[in-house]
Amino acid sequence: MIGNEIENALQALQQGGLILYPTDTVWGIGCDATNPDAIRKVYDLKRRADSKALICLVSDIRMLEKHIYELPDVAYDIIELATRPTTIIYDKPLNVAPNLVAEDDSLAIRVASDEFCQKLIRKFKRPIVSTSANISGEPTPSHFKEISSEILKGVDYVVNLHRDKKNSNPSSIIKLTNDGVVKVIRK
């Protein structure tokens, strides 16, 4: 079952489409983090200002290192010691679409802990966007059944896994700068 879902989601991602998928936190809208047109579709679907940055997921530390100019040493400790999903905002991202990078030249990235996400990203060989499956300003759905029909109709593929599972909270967010500043954005 998981293999079929990975193949179907992979096909949508490779064609520049949007997927709706379960993550290690909440249901997410995803796309190829290196494809500016796909990222524009996410902003349009969510009716979100493109000045509000999106998060992306990587499969592991090796992939993370390929997408950050300089990975601060403390990032390894935070990732290893975190007891819940933790997104880190890094300076100077590399090899992602320009419209994914925030105005201050930073990018929020999380190493996925969910098995489906890890396998999908590894097979795709690129980071994928992960933003909550809601219209901007509306509550984040805690169950699949709470996702609006507008979101469901606006994506190219809806992953058929974990639809009966209650989602956990959004990830913690920490900002790390290359000059050593650590700032908690969301606990």
Q: What pLDDT sits at residue 168?
A: 67
Q: What is the pLDDT of residue 179?
A: 78
Long-range residue pairs from 79-84, CB within 8 A, at least 24 positions apart, any chain? 79/111, 82/172, 84/168, 84/169, 84/171, 84/172
- Domain 2-186, what architecture? Alpha-Beta Complex (3.90)
First to last CA, the chain: 34
DSSP 8-state symbol, 165: S
Tokens 């290192």, located at residue: 65
**Regions in the chain scoring below 50 on pLDDT:** none
Which of 97, 157, 92 shows the shortest CA–CA distance to 129? 97
